[in-house]
Structure 1
């Protein structure tokens, strides 16, 4: 089974992340989606509930918009509080061993801005996620990104939704491949 940790600070106004998660839920009725902003608007993470969710699944997807070249704050807090000593690491901390981790993010800027000649590489921004996965003995599967979807750039909402629907289809294919 697949677990999606959804971390969008303004999900009710989201177009892309909402479309991706809702479309994926329609394709995969057994997916568990944990919208951590809805669950923890006060940022008080229920560590036991989150750890139990991780234990139930083989594939974990982190779904979020890129914020200032990083993950939203609540997702960092989630990592800090949920990936605990003797759960995720330490002499007895092998609970995440061999689980698969895939990042699915939305990026407002166009993909060309993240090519080598522009010095902004998504792989660089994801090093902390990759290292966290490796440190906890998870299998880091890389990332998939949906670029150029910022409504402030003048892209129509229906065009963003269409691109997000395509991204969801690609994500669905990756889930089928990895499960």
Structure 2
């Protein structure tokens, strides 16, 4: 199966978790095509035709990103707005993504308990990502269970231990790879 990773991270040089996940994916045995939006389109001008062709060629579409302000980075939102167009992704003739699998793979900085009604974020992560689920349904895609990991931010001397974040990133990558391998088995 063709696995397309749409990766959004505005400052990969400062990333511990997402950079480790991408590094692990690049060295895995699975067939991945990785599109780092922030490296490809630093001006936010998307090559819509190229991106749509990548989506057409993919079986599995993975959105990889850090969870920013209860959503995705601006580059991924911009990509969604420009690429998932009427009569391509939805609408009377918009069936180009029909039947494709969508997996959200993202890192969350805060701990699990902060994403509860009594936590400081008040909502669960699943509640906060509902717009992605609805987008998949509108585009007739198979919305698969999201893969996300908490406590994935590292701020030296302030928050978390780098090696522990890297270990969680390794486990996160393995969960994603396993999910994709299971899709391959179910063909």
How large is the Cα RMSD of the aligned pairs?
1.3
Q: Deviations for 1:17-65, whole angstroms, at most 9, x for unmatched residues?
A: 0111110121135200000000001111111111111111111110000
- Report if the CA contact (8 A) 2:99-2:140 is conserved: yes
What's 1:136 paired with? 139
Q: 1:130 offset after TM fit, Å?
A: 0.5
CA offsets 1:106-125 (integer angstroms, 9 cap, x no match): 01101121234433211111
Specify the alignment match of 1:120 in structure 2: 123
Q: SS of the counterpart of 1:96?
A: coil
Secondary structure, counterpart of 1:132 in structure 2: helix
Q: Distance in 1 between matches of 2:137 and 2:152?
A: 30
TM-score (norm 2): 0.91
> Residue 11 of structure 1 aligns with which residue?
12
Partner of 1:83: 84
Q: How does 1:134-173 map to 2 (within 5 A)?
A: 134-152=137-155, 153-173=158-178
CA distance in 2, matches of 1:49, 1:28: 25
Q: Name the SS of the counterpart of 2:127 in structure 1.
A: helix
Q: For 2:36 and 2:80, how far apart are their aligned partners in 1? A: 14
Paired position in structure 1 for 2:51: 50
1:11-50 correspondence runs (5 A): 11-50=12-51
Q: Hey, what's the Cα distance between the residues in 2 that align with 1:83 and 1:38? A: 20
SS of equivalent to 1:169? helix
Alpha-carbon spacing, 1:28–1:43, altered in 2? closer, same or farther (3 Å): farther
Instruction: Please give the TM-score of this superposition, normalised by the length of structure 1.
Output: 0.95
Query: SS at the partner of 1:91?
Result: coil
Moved over 2 A (4+): 115-119
- Name the structure with the higher helix share: 1
Count of equivalent residues: 179
For residues 174 and 116 of structure 1, the distance between their equivalents in structure 2, rounded to whole angstroms, comes to: 29
Report what 2:106 is aligned to: 105
Partner-residue secondary structure (3-state), 1:151: coil
Three-state SS of the structure 2 residue aligned to 1:27 is coil
Q: Which runs of 5+ in 1 are unaligned?
A: none
Partner SS for 1:105: strand
Say whether residues 1:174 and 2:168 are aligned partners.
no
